[in-house]
Chain A
Amino acid sequence: MSPAEAAVDRHHILTVLVENKAGVLARVAGLFSRRGYNIFSLAVAPTEDDRFSRITIVVDVESAPLEQVVNQLDKLVNVVAISELAAASAVQRELLLATVAAAPEERSQVIQLVGVFGGEVVDVGADRLTVMLAGPPEKLDGFEGLLETYEVLDLQRTGRVALPKIDVPPPARNRLVAIGS
């Protein structure tokens, strides 16, 4: 296993349904820091039901067994449900924005690269471009690597969001944990 693959292997995706109340993100983040768990990435947004938000956390389980992380999260009163998604049974997406220095003679190369990946140019200046790519995190990794050929002035990724794949039957690798279960 390559180091990169090993890193991915340590990452587990938790999608955490929380009550949409003040301070909930602080409670979740505080739990991770005080128990010494590592967050690799984190994304929060309201769900279709405005009483709840969904937090997608990618956990680095080198620091603690996933079971402990889930059980401790379960105890937060504002946490309604936790699903653990194995990478293979989840649909994952992430968005990347990057501002790249591109003199007029380089500009078309960058635009071409963005086109190959199915991204978009979202802003153009005299000597720079801002590009956007949405997709699976690995695709963004590849794109980010190639962008480094140019001078990247700014780069921001959102952290991934994920939902279970529809055709994967629920048991074993894709368990839904409710509080107290």
Chain B
Amino acid sequence: MQLTGAQALIKSLEMEGVEVMFGLPGGAILPVYDPILSSSIRHILVRHEQGAGHMAEGYALATGRPGVAVVTSGPGATNIVTPLSNAYMDSTPLVVITGQVPTASIGTDAFQECDITGVTMGITKHNWLVTSAQDIPEVVASAFHLATTGRPGPVLVDVPKDVSNASMEWHWPDRLDLPGYRVPGPPERADIERAAALMAAARRPVLYVGGGVLKARATEALRALAERTGFPVVTTLMARGAFPDSHPQCLGMPGMHGNYTAVTAMQRADLLVALGARFDDRVTGRLDAFAPGAKVVHVDIDAAELHKVRRADVAIAGDCKVVIEALSEAAAPMLAGEDPVSRLSAWWDALRRWQREFPLHYERHSEPPIKPQMVIETLRDLSPPDTVVASGVGQHQMWASQYWRFDYPNTWINSGGAGTMGFAVPAAIGAKVGRPDRTVWAIDGDGCFQMTAQELVTAAAERIPIKVAILNNAYLGMVRQWQEMFYGERYSEVYLSPDLPDYVKWAEAMGAEGLRVETPEEVAPAIEKANAVDDRPVVIDFRTDAFEKVFPMVPAGASNDDVMVHPQHTERADAERLAWERLEAERLAWERVAAERQR
């Protein structure tokens, strides 16, 4: 069967089971858009290529399937660089197809030419410049294989216009020629046993769970391991929902804006079992002061993550699900006959006390301005428990992660590693396309919203009824917080204005419903009204307190021991730290005495 390269490309996407792609046509990709008319694949026409990329990410994060975006050459391609970088940092499977100028024009600075494979080399798992139409099926099959296996990630396929137009004989590869690509196999028995021995000996263990657990679909296995061992669990920003927040063993999020108990549990631990987590600087704080007494078991599918930041005592390169199941099995006989709760009772006593004494806190009141945390709590309580939440980057993201109750995997869609402002709206659209059965809320900041709001036009046109809660504090809030705390309240270029733009009018102009909420008592009714709309997007402009800050906070470069809790809890936290330091000093003194006696 003779096909054009463009037809072969679309057919290859169909062969890969693609149901939807996000894109925007242009000159160099024109041939590819023609066969889309007769394809089974739904195409969603975006208003800006960055939107296509983030939608594809949102789709991938909500469904676990690879997201697909199609854009043209030059500026079309460069506009999708941010989503590629974002997906690379967060290991999101993404396949991006870019048009390219005809082969003969490459290197001549032709109209809309850009060396996009060169540009994206460092932010894709791999990329290809296709030079022959005959290669298209194999490149597409390889692209999906790479995007979805091992450590998932974005890939890019650059297709010159003459290659799309050329004729080829259709074939579908039965094997891929990737001699340099292999995925880790099952773990070594000995490593599992060494890890299990450390777990059996630990008295202050923590399961440090990262996004890899979600990528490996290992949430059930994790739950079994946690319940069998009785270990407390912290879920990083990328792993919210990997272990239910309502589970009694869940301590919540650690890190720069993690809660006191999760942060301190890691600091005082004698064993960290890191599962699909990478010791990111936002989790560790100052590295040489991070979890000083902890031995480390590190499980990651990417061998390059092992020993990269923190030397592990047992390092296991492997799929999280396989390894977690092996650890569960190996730990069972070692823990047999011991009730996990009583074995770790002293540890759990300390954790429960911290949870009691240092809960997340903000000052609740019934007068305006509205507290942003209260908006999120109300949203959480009035929406179905399996609601998918997307967020942008900044204060609203941290509050959403802190105050939402994540009980289901793949319900938290955010930009973790890259910290891409403007992620929420397009990512929520992609998530809703992938999970039309779920309620999808974008929790956004006013700064973020202005970066990608135009995609609400896409959502309205395509009837994708997402809901957007703007926590409008009229500032680039996280920057404002840092300027207040670390730059002597010298506010430089952070004020935005609550009324410019008029978010309600803007929403309406884009075909969405727009609501404004200025007092606490209006919050719940507005949310209920929004939840009842299912034929178009809704935007609520919540006028929130501009002076509210995210606590707890570990200042950049500080030790996690110096976590700043809400000012109301500061004295208590200081006393707690002094008591710990005294105990540590005593313990060290006793150890010295014991060592001397032995000599």
From the candidates A18, A77, A178, name the one contacting B125 in the complex (CB within 8 A).
A77
Bound state CA distance, A181 and B306, in angstroms?
13
Let me know if A27 is at the binding interface, CB within 8 A: yes
Q: Known: A23-B117, A30-B122. Is A77-B129 also a contact (CB below 8 A)?
A: no
Tell me if B304 and A77 are in contact (CB < 8 A). no
Q: How far is the CB of A68 from chain B (nearest CB, A)?
A: 6
Let me know if B529 is at the binding interface, CB within 8 A: no
Tell me if B129 and A22 are in contact (CB < 8 A). yes
CB contacts (< 8 Å) of A50 on chain B: these are none
CB contacts (< 8 Å) of B178 on chain A: these are 77
Residues 149-190 of chain B, each 1 if its beta carbon lies under 8 Å from chain A, else 0? 010000000000000000000000000001111111100000
Q: How far is the CB of A96 from chain B (nearest CB, A)?
A: 33
Bound state CA distance, A79 and B125, in angstroms?
13
Let me know if B248 is at the binding interface, CB within 8 A: no
From the candidates B129, B179, B302, name the one contacting A75 in the complex (CB within 8 A).
B302
Tell me if A180 and B179 are in contact (CB < 8 A). no
From the candidates A30, A34, A76, A180, name the one contacting B303 in the complex (CB within 8 A).
A180
Let me know if A67 is at the binding interface, CB within 8 A: yes
Interface residues of B in 103-147 (CB under 8 A from A): 117-118, 121-122, 125-126, 129, 146
Let me know if B308 is at the binding interface, CB within 8 A: yes
Q: Known: A71-B304, A74-B304, A75-B302. Is A30-B180 also a contact (CB below 8 A)?
A: no
Question: Total A-B residue pairs with C-beta atoms closer than 8 Å?
Answer: 54
Main secondary structure on A side of the interface with B: mixed
Q: How far is the CB of B463 from chain A (nearest CB, A)?
A: 39
Bound state CA distance, A26 and B308, in angstroms?
24
Interface residues of A in 30-70 (CB under 8 A from B): 30-31, 34, 65, 67-68
Residues 312-346 of chain B, each 1 if its beta carbon lies under 8 Å from chain A, else 0? 00000100000000000000000000000000000
Interface residues of A in 9-39 (CB under 8 A from B): 18-19, 22-23, 26-27, 30-31, 34
Q: Which residue of A lies closest to B155 (CB)?
A: A77
Let me know if B587 is at the binding interface, CB within 8 A: no
Residues 145-181 of chain A, each 1 if its beta carbon lies under 8 Å from chain B, else 0? 0000000000000000000000000000000001111
Bound state CA distance, A67 and B308, in angstroms?
9
Bound state CA distance, A65 and B307, in angstroms?
10
Tell me if A72 and B304 are in contact (CB < 8 A). yes
Q: Which residue of B lies closest to A70 (CB)?
A: B304
| Interface residue ranges, B against A (CB under 8 Å) | 117-118, 121-122, 125-126, 129, 146, 150, 178-185, 302-304, 306-308, 317
Q: In the complex, given contacts A30-B122, A75-B304, A78-B126, what are 11 additional A-B residue pairs having Cβ atoms less than 8 angstroms apart?
A: A18-B180, A19-B179, A65-B307, A68-B304, A71-B304, A71-B308, A74-B304, A77-B146, A77-B178, A77-B181, A180-B184
Chosen A-B contacts, 14 in total, with CB atoms closer than 8 Å, are A18-B180, A22-B129, A23-B117, A23-B129, A26-B118, A27-B121, A30-B121, A65-B307, A68-B308, A75-B304, A76-B180, A77-B180, A179-B182, A180-B185
Q: Which 5 A-B pairs have the closest CB atoms?
A: A180-B182, A71-B304, A77-B126, A80-B180, A179-B182
